[in-house]
Amino acid sequence: MKRLLFLFNRITHYASRITVLLAFSLSPLTTSLFVTSAFASEKTTSFEEIVVTATRTEKELETAPGSVSVVTKDDMEKRNIKTVDDALNAIAGVFHDNKGKGLMGTTSSISMRGLSYDKRTLFLLDGIALNDAYSGGASYGLLSVEDVEKIEVVKGPFSSLYGGYAMGGVVHIITKMPEKREFTFKTGYGSSWDRGDAMDDLRKFYLSYGDKIKDKLSLFVSYGYKATNGYPTDFNVQSSKPTAGITGWTQTTDNQGNIRYLIGDSGDNRWWDDQLTLKAGYDFTKETKLNLSYMRSRYEYNYDEPHTYLRNAAGNEVWTYGTVRENSFLSGSGGRLQNIYNIGLETAFSSVKMKLSLGLMDREKSWYVTRGTTVATTSLLCRHLTGIY
């Protein structure tokens, strides 16, 4: 008995988080004692959430002017958020149209304070504007959510601070810098139960390494990759009813209630994307810091062979009838390659704090292909046989 009491005192004296994990294999009464002892010796320190977007300077969230919402890395992990789009949808007052096609979509829009479309909302990535100068749209969906430290959203007009894009608000995505050595590796595979009903052969991969050397030099590198063989997303719906003797079509309606006929699809919508991030920072002093970063993101989508649902009396596939031609079953392809460069310097002179930032967003490639209106049967077959979309 004395030996058991001695052992119990030693364990509670050196209680730590690993004690809690080991305690679950014991009886319920002993478990409660061990958990209480472990956490009784810990002290919890609470820090106020600091935001920078509302005033371009550090402010506590409670004292920041305007309506400010923050999604932290812990919030994203607790909610199992996998994309930046999902993180934005978790914020009250922010309506985000999640592209319709999920992973394989290339267009999205956000609405705040009644102002729709990305061109009315400013998107920042570590202080760099992501809005395209031509259309006003922003490309942020490819960013690996594992690289994100937090997302600050300021709702309401902030054009006086940020310019015309910030009429509806500002979305600021802040990526992380390591405070200690860390290594992350994630991978996974999934597919639909019935092929074609959801994304087939979805593969994901993420790898990152970060370190802070002698409390001065911070380094971070990450690479993420996603790919899927997809599923049919573009359906061939016609206003012309298939002629007598043709089966396999389905009668439906459009968004105005007009009768239409579903006769096929453009094939499985395939997709891949990857992201590379390189970051470095050096703390000369507590007030003077230099940061460098490079981010590259790429994506490409295409379609495999189209499918016709139509059959004639002999059971053969039907690709044309009346005014409907083979080219109506085709869809296009596209892709993008984007590079973001950034250098930032932060320092202080007495009570004056100065921040300098220089960023460049280089959209090296951005392309898409749409079907023509005079595609012949020979051209259609040739394109599929050569794998060109």
Structure confidence at residue 87 (pLDDT):
84
pLDDT digits (tens, 9 = 90+) for 220-249: 999 999 999 988 888 999 999 999 999 999
Report which of residues 267 and 116 the model is more confident about. Answer: 267
Looking at the domain assignment, is residue 203 inside a domain? yes
Q: Give yes or no for residue 375 having a pLDDT over 60.
A: no
Structure confidence at residue 68 (pLDDT):
80
Looking at the domain assignment, is residue 196 inside a domain? yes
Question: Is residue 307 domain-shared with residue 322, that is, in the same domain?
Answer: yes
pLDDT digits (tens, 9 = 90+) for 136-170: 777 776 788 899 998 888 887 766 676 677 777 88
> Domain tally for the chain?
3
Question: Is residue 186 domain-shared with residue 227, that is, in the same domain?
Answer: yes
Structure confidence at residue 98 (pLDDT):
57
Question: Is residue 167 domain-shared with residue 235, that is, in the same domain?
Answer: no
Question: Is residue 240 domain-shared with residue 115, that is, in the same domain?
Answer: no
Cβ neighbours of 206 (radius 10 Å): 19
pLDDT digits (tens, 9 = 90+) for 41-63: 344 444 456 656 555 556 565 55
Q: Closest Cα to residue 189, out of 204, 176, 206, 209?
A: 204
Residue 29 belongs to domain spanning? 2-40
Question: Is residue 293 domain-shared with residue 319, that is, in the same domain?
Answer: yes
Structure confidence at residue 275 (pLDDT):
94
Q: Give yes or no for residue 28 having a pLDDT over 60.
A: no
Structure confidence at residue 301 (pLDDT):
92
Highest-confidence segment of 8-22, 109-123, 286-300:
286-300
Q: Give yes or no for residue 184 having a pLDDT over 90.
A: yes
Average pLDDT of the chain?
77
**Global pTM value:** 0.74
Looking at the domain assignment, is residue 45 inside a domain? no
Q: Residue 334 and residue 324: Cα distance in Å, rounded? A: 25
Which of 156, 175, 194 is the C-terminal boundary of a domain?
A: 175
Q: Give yes or no for residue 370 having a pLDDT over 50.
A: yes
